[in-house]
Structure 1
């Protein structure tokens, strides 16, 4: 009996530690000319446990309309997986179809997600861009439009997320050449317990029975493991 109580006590302690554990998400995105780089790092317990996801190369496939993505995943500094993938227009179409399917089965999806994002603390947010054309007048118009667009996006983000700092952003015009370079760096923080509560709420408000997903990975969840994109 003592062993059972001890095991239950340990499980409760582990669950409490997990619930109150803070997770930091570091996101860095850079686009220079035609090269895109994405670096996402998840860290917990002051870096004792960390997981890194890198997409160092994103480019268009010369032989098709697909996008070639090179992925690298690391766990505590050790490379777990490295592979190349092709993202086709069909994959994007199936992804949007799956998102629509999820939204149709979720009651109050927007409200639940907004409650969660409101608890996500933004510790750092910077977004700097360089835009330009060879025409000074066109560059001026483009710069103004980018300022307006970026200001609207950041305003929307501050509505949904809990910003602990003022976002830093800029648009630098280049009147000498064509340019569309940008870099985004941000740090997000939330508790695992908050994510768990959000997942429970989403399951609670699920309706309409089993969904029918089209993408291969999500089709396995709905029992259509042999389903192909059409």
Structure 2
């Protein structure tokens, strides 16, 4: 009797794990810049909405070349008891240098980290990708040059993405030129997904690669606690 109950519980757990592995992790990214108003939102949803994460930057203010950009961010999630935090980021040369140094350390103390990243990104499916920009200057020549630069930038980025992740549909790219008044607005919208099972396997593989390098686990812990 007890054997059948235990087997039934194990069976239910295995079915639940299998169903969870077949579900998708949904990722939505929205960046919007209208004149001096900036907005960045990253939303992650998994396990039928049981786990949610929301990262937002609602204000980006340029404080000079020395101080860089001051960004107000908000983070929310419903993991365990849920967390909600508000703080500011000073995006300057020192901050960028710190991020760069951390990336170099991660690559150094993680076995085949670049290969792991490439394999993970190839599992990502992008359902929606649109990028619309409005630009204009008082000078016609400057407007034309800026328009060409933006088209080249978008083409380069989309070419890299097409070889990195799976684009389910053609990206919607638009650049609108305005000659009547100076303006610059841009909106980037991306909806991507990856199977929860693939993400779990990638996490296990990453942990193995970290442990293989002496000092790797300690380095990752120190970096994650600073985020």
TM-score normalised by length of structure 1: 0.80
Counterpart position of 1:145 = 149
Contact in 2 for aligned 1:70/1:82 (Cα 8 Å) = no
Counterpart position of 1:55 = 57
Find 1:210's aligned residue among 215, 219, 223: 215
Alpha-carbon distance in structure 2 between the residues aligned to 1:103 and 1:220: 13
Contact in 2 for aligned 1:52/1:74 (Cα 8 Å) = yes
Alpha-carbon distance in structure 2 between the residues aligned to 1:146 and 1:220: 34
Structure 2, unmatched stretches of 5+, are none
Call closer, same or farther: CA 1:19–1:31 in 2, change over 3 Å: same
Counterpart position of 2:134 = 130
Question: Can you list the C-alpha shifts for 1:29-84, whole angstroms capped at 9, x where unaligned?
Answer: 1011232201222234665754432222222347x7153332334457xx952412
Counterpart position of 1:193 = 197
Counterpart position of 1:24 = 26
Alpha-carbon distance in structure 2 between the residues aligned to 1:140 and 1:11: 61
Q: Secondary structure at the match of 1:156?
A: helix
Please state if 1:85 is matched with 2:88: yes
Counterpart position of 1:165 = 169
Q: How far has the Cα of 1:105 moved from its partner?
A: 2.2
Contact in 2 for aligned 1:29/1:183 (Cα 8 Å) = yes
Counterpart position of 2:13 = 11
Q: Secondary structure at the match of 1:160?
A: coil
Kindly indicate which of the two structures has a greater share of residues assigned to helix. 2
Contact in 2 for aligned 1:118/1:162 (Cα 8 Å) = yes
Q: How far has the Cα of 1:130 moved from its partner?
A: 1.6
Contact in 2 for aligned 1:121/1:189 (Cα 8 Å) = yes
Question: Can you list the C-alpha shifts for 1:71-110, whole angstroms capped at 9, x where unaligned?
Answer: 334457xx95241213253333222111101111233322
Alpha-carbon distance in structure 1 between the residues aligned to 2:186 and 2:44: 23
Counterpart position of 1:118 = 122
Counterpart position of 2:180 = 176
Alpha-carbon distance in structure 1 between the residues aligned to 2:77 and 2:223: 26
Structure 1, unmatched stretches of 5+, are none
Call closer, same or farther: CA 1:80–1:203 in 2, change over 3 Å: closer
| RMSD of Structure 2 on Structure 1 (CA) | 2.9
Residue-pair matches, total: 218
Contact in 2 for aligned 1:133/1:177 (Cα 8 Å) = yes
Find 1:42's aligned residue among 36, 41, 44: 44
